[in-house]
Amino acid sequence: MGVEAGNKNVVEPLIQSLKDKDPGVRCEAAIGLGEIGDSRAEKPLMRALNDSDKEVREAAEESLRMVRSN
């Protein structure tokens, strides 16, 4: 998919959203990071693999694959 210029600006806020108290926000952040595919997301997504919420863990796992394939 690749990173579009506008997406680069949202990577850091999405990374920060992986720490949100709401698991829905964390899940959407992980999905967004995977779609953007920026390598800065790799370590935060790896940490999200240990999230207390199963859906967040699953989203992080898939997104990590997407980031690593770029």
The domains of the chain are located at 5-69
Compute how many other C-beta atoms are within 10 angstroms of the C-beta atom of residue 54. Answer: 10
Residue position matching structure tokens 């995977």: 34
Q: How far apart are the first and last CA of the chain?
A: 8
pLDDT in tens, the chain (70 residues): 444 545 678 999 999 999 999 999 999 999 999 999 999 999 999 999 999 999 999 999 999 999 999 8
* CATH assignment of 5-69, among 1.50.10.100, 1.10.1660.10, 1.25.10.10, 3.40.50.720: 1.25.10.10
d(CA 68, CA 20): 24
DSSP string covering 18-45: TT-S-HHHHHHHHHHHHHH--GGGHHHH
Q: Give this prediction's pTM.
A: 0.88
Asked whether the beta carbons of 60 and 30 are under 8 A apart, the reply is: yes
